[in-house]
Every structure is written in C-alpha cells, then in structure tokens.
Structure 1
C-alpha cells in the first residue's frame, strides 16, 4: 500500500466518521470510518518503513583495470 492509498483511506474514513449524518441498518458508518482511518495510518507507516529499508542499502562498485605489460615494454 503506497502513501497515497493510505492518505485516501484516512480521508475516506474521516468523511464516513465525521461528515455523514446518514444511518444504514446493520452498518455503523462511524465505526467503518474509524477502521478505514486506522487502516490508512497503518498503511502509511508500513510504506515508510519499507521505503526506509530500501534506501538504507549500500552499493559497491568494482572497477577492474588491466595493464598491458607488452605496451609498457615498447614505450619504456
């Protein structure tokens, strides 16, 4: 889940929890909104942790250099 998806879930959950005045039988929209906000926050935290681990890697570059001994004998 990317950071954008987490923000979307938080916004959708806040709308459902605080802005809706409608009621649906057998579904508590405020509870669903709170669950969506928690899921969005958890998604953002997991996404940040994964990105932190990905950027914490080290890279090593190996360069090989070949010296032509025959060319050195001709010049020197």
Structure 2
C-alpha cells in the first residue's frame, strides 16, 4: 500500500461500491466487498498513523547555561 493515499483510495472505492453502485453479481455481494474495503482502509490509516507517530523524534532543544557573553 502506498501510505495515506492508498488507504484513502480504499475507503473511497469501498464507499462507492457500497453506497453509489447498483451493480448486481450472482456470486459476489458488492455491498459487503465495499464494507471490507472501507474497513481495510480505516485499519491501514490507523496502522500508518501509529507507525508515523512512532517515527517522529522530538526536536533537540538548545542547551542554555544561564551565562551571557559580554564583549
């Protein structure tokens, strides 16, 4: 998967299949397929968000020793 964009694409395609299509297939229920795709996209966003949050490192703060240069 290609990160956030891929997860959002899964959610969008799943929503279109579930709510906006009226196609009928004999052996496949497209509403269920759409719900599964939306769930996978949401799960992917959650996993990607937790991994991204873990990678972020707090910025190093400058060390201040309380003295000033007086020149």
TM-score of the pair, normalised by structure 2: 0.76
2:17 maps to: 16
Please give the alpha-carbon distance, in whole angstroms, between the structure 2 residues aligned to 1:32 and 1:56: 38
Please give the alpha-carbon distance, in whole angstroms, between the structure 1 residues aligned to 2:58 and 2:25: 49
> By percentage of residues, which structure has more helix?
1
1:35 maps to: 36
Structure 2 unaligned spans of 5+: 61-71
Please give the alpha-carbon distance, in whole angstroms, between the structure 2 residues aligned to 1:57 and 1:25: 54
TM-score of the pair, normalised by structure 1: 0.72
Question: Offset of 1:58 from its aligned partner?
Answer: 7.4
1:25 maps to: 26
Question: Offset of 1:57 from its aligned partner?
Answer: 6.3
Please give the alpha-carbon distance, in whole angstroms, between the structure 2 residues aligned to 1:31 and 1:39: 12
Structure 1 unaligned spans of 5+: 60-76
Max radius of gyration: which structure? 1
Please give the alpha-carbon distance, in whole angstroms, between the structure 2 residues aligned to 1:56 and 1:26: 49
Please give the alpha-carbon distance, in whole angstroms, between the structure 1 residues aligned to 2:30 and 2:57: 41
Q: How many residues align?
A: 59
